[in-house]
Structure 1
Amino acid sequence: MTSTDTRTPTASAPATGPGTGTSFWSATRLVAEREIRSFLRMKSWWIGFATLVVGLFATALLPSLFGDGGDDGDDGRPGVAVVGIDPPPGLEAAADDIRILEVDDPAGAGHLLADGEVRAIVTPDDTDGSDPDGSDPGVHVLAASEPPLVILDALGSLPPVEIIESPDDAGEGERALVTIVFGLLFLMFGMGGIAIAQSTVTEKQTRIVEILVSTVPVRALLAGKIAGHSLLTIGQVLALAVLAPVALRLGGHTDLLSVLAPAVGWFVPFMLLGFVLLAAMWAVAGSVVSRQEDLGSSTSLVMLFVMLPYFAVVFFGDNAGVLAVLSYVPFSAPVGMPVRLFTGDAQVWEALVSLGVLVAALVVIVLLASRVYSGALLQTRGRIGLAQAWGRADDRPSGDRA
């Protein structure tokens, strides 16, 4: 999430430009470096990134530290449901550490396991022939997604263990959590792109833009701003992607990590391409106004494109049909498709098609934004309409004065 830069930019522009043989790509690189250095010197940028990291670890750790304990009960002890037999001696000996629930109805025990009230169900194992006289029948253990090691250790033996749910299946709670987390990340990074608009309008208001375009092509100025902020976002997203497994392991969510990792791997490229698309729109929103006071009116549409997909994915996350459609819409695909991959509702080929649609939309939006930006950047007298900006853009090299 890029931070808002409201400071007046310095007049230190690259000393070379189209007139002195600077190529488009060289100028783009210089502008991108200028944007990156400017934000890396800002305390607010680092505070914003630190807040994201703290939020990530808090989301992973707080439920296990201060929650109701899930299947560990209010006292923090893991629960086990015993059906059809007396509690085995090993469990009774560990009663201080394990919460034992004697249940008569196997269906009731199944509900306790499904609701997370217990970690396992212990039932008699009629196939165990270790004690033919039946005085000490063997037991059979049922678990939801992974062997309950603490309970197996208390039993003092290795009874048959049956996993009744695949560890790769995401529950409703996990699905909702992943949807909200992905959505919030895209929302925060997408809204952070407003710094591009504010930087652009500040340069227009202080007339520094006239110095910049005398040495740097206008389209290179746009490309450099997008590239600089996109690189900052790449760094933040990759850092969060690396730290997420660490946070999940510390929070004891190793089962969630195994199914979340592939979705995170897809979320990163979707998120970055989505940010570039929005960055081009933020730049145009800043170029069509000449004062910070007018920025709200030009950025409202971009905010709509950022917020509506987020709310749509969150509200319709449990509707497979609607989510399937949203996973192909360029503005909502960065959240919708990774969520579908997480839940197993989408195949790899679907993700590739969605990624292709997003890339095609990105190319079109950037090309349109480039022309509007070129026609509006040097208009410093009030707000200019999109159609008027489009008409003012000509076919001359974009570094030339209009």
Structure 2
Amino acid sequence: MTTATAARRGRTPFAQAAAIVAQREIMTKLRSKAFLVSTALFVGAIFVMVLLSSLGPQLFDSTTRVAVTEQTASAIEGVEGYEVEVLGSAQAVREAVESGDVSAGVLQDDGPSGLLVVGDREAPTGVLQLLSVQPELELLDPNAPDPMLTYFIGIAFGIVFFSSAITFGQTIAQSVVEEKQSRIVEIMLATVPARAILAGKVLGNSILAFGQIALIAGVVLLGGAVTGSQLLLDGLGMPIIWFVALFTIGFVMLAALYAAAAALVSRSEDLGSASSPLMMLIMIPYILVIIFNNNPLALQIMSYVPFSAPVAVPMRVYLGTMEWWEPLLSLAILAATTVGAILFAALVYERSLLKTGAMVKWRDALKR
């Protein structure tokens, strides 16, 4: 329909209508103190976590004080985590240990090691292990990612994706139901096409979600710059970029489906049952990525599944198990799926928006 035809019929052109709806969605959120405060707290909590993860070992660093004589000082001096106090005699070392001024003492001895470790009530395990004779060590892959660190990185990506998708998805769904329940949508449809309303809601909330994700990514990289963390600046730089790119497209898909699900119901009380399939589509991949964060085959499969790709692909990029073309292929699959989901959601939304009463089934919504 051309602009002139639309104007003659009293209907706003599609692009203009979608922009108006998107602006309304954005401004409604930005005027909400609850949204602004929750976003600030969430971003602030992430920044604090980044600082603690990098500065934590320094903030909570504890050194072990060890008393030695001049003859045994060389056995401990220069070892990280140990503070050496050189005393004049073996008796002075024993008195320092007994008084609690030091955690342990190291003296000369006639035994095979030539050293004697002195403790008070219990054996100073750390000092004993330090002075024990250990075999030579060969590391086959010294640069391999720490499994525990990989686990927490997977959780971090998953939580950000999950919380943002659920928060803004539910916002879209609640907005659709409120307009349908109050019958405002019937007034809107007199001048605005249904698909323009859907496009505006998806566009407006997507912009808000993208802004929040970009803000989080910026805070993480800022924290890395402040603390000088090579993990955040180098190790997670490219995974974060891919996460933002995949989330941008994936959220549009989820936003459209949430709006379609909300159009199926006429009451807020029924929204949970209508959106539960979408909740499962978000939660199951999120859980699987966390469980199989060290399983290369499972991550490879999930990187090509649209709902899990925004978390699986950054994980594979971080682990270095992905060829250069694989993230592009995952992005293309996600983009194609998003186009199909938008077309599907548009049909459901358009054909269910004016239906009231009991919840409309998905298959019934597709029927003319």
- Which TM-score tier does this pair reach, normalised by the shorter chain? 0.7 to 0.9
Q: 1:189 aligns with which of 149, 164, 172?
A: 164
Counterpart of 2:49, as a letter, is T
Change (3 A) 1:93 1:272: closer
Say what the alpha-carbon RMSD is for the aligned residues: 3.1
Mapped contact 1:18–1:216 kept (Cα < 8 A): no
Mapped contact 2:173–2:259 kept (Cα < 8 A): yes
Mapped contact 1:56–1:247 kept (Cα < 8 A): no
Q: 2:275 maps to what in 1?
A: 299
Q: 1:280 aligns with which of 230, 249, 256?
A: 256
Q: 1:32 aligns with which of 9, 22, 27?
A: 22
Change (3 A) 1:184 1:92: closer
The DSSP-based 3-state class of the residue aligned with 2:266 is coil
Where does the alignment leave 5 or more consecutive residues of structure 2 unmatched? 1-5, 65-71, 86-125
Change (3 A) 1:73 1:389: closer
Change (3 A) 1:323 1:89: closer
Counterpart of 1:267, as a letter, is F
The DSSP-based 3-state class of the residue aligned with 1:329 is coil
Note if 1:58 corresponds to 2:34: no
Q: Encode CA deviations 1:211-261: one digit per residue, 9 max, x unaligned.
A: 111111100100100000000011111111111022234455333431100
Counterpart of 2:210, as a letter, is I
The DSSP-based 3-state class of the residue aligned with 1:244 is helix
Change (3 A) 1:179 1:20: same
User: Between Structure 1 and Structure 2, how many residues are aligned?
Assistant: 314
Counterpart of 1:390, as a letter, is L
Structure with the larger helix share: 2
Note if 1:173 corresponds to 2:148: yes
TM-score (norm 1): 0.71
The DSSP-based 3-state class of the residue aligned with 1:25 is helix
Q: 2:313 maps to what in 1?
A: 337
Q: Distance in 1 between matches of 2:292 and 2:84?
A: 41
CA offset at residue 19 of structure 1? 2.8
CA radius of gyration, larger in = 2
Q: Taking every aligned residue pair, what percent have the same amino acid on both sides?
A: 36
Counterpart of 1:37, as a letter, is M
Q: 1:271 aligns with which of 233, 247, 264?
A: 247
Mapped contact 2:303–2:312 kept (Cα < 8 A): yes
Change (3 A) 1:294 1:102: closer
Q: Distance in 1 between matches of 2:217 and 2:82?
A: 40
Mapped contact 1:17–1:217 kept (Cα < 8 A): no
Counterpart of 1:299, as a letter, is S
Mapped contact 1:61–1:247 kept (Cα < 8 A): yes
Change (3 A) 1:256 1:97: farther
The DSSP-based 3-state class of the residue aligned with 1:359 is helix
Q: Encode CA deviations 1:166-192: one digit per residue, 9 max, x unaligned.
A: 4xx532122112111000011101111
Mapped contact 2:249–2:338 kept (Cα < 8 A): yes
The DSSP-based 3-state class of the residue aligned with 2:145 is coil
Note if 1:75 corresponds to 2:51: no
Change (3 A) 1:228 1:18: farther
Q: 1:260 aligns with which of 233, 236, 240?
A: 236
Q: Distance in 1 between matches of 2:145 and 2:292?
A: 17
Q: Distance in 2 between matches of 1:386 and 1:50?
A: 37
Q: Distance in 2 between matches of 1:97 and 1:208?
A: 77
TM-score (norm 2): 0.77
Counterpart of 1:60, as a letter, is V
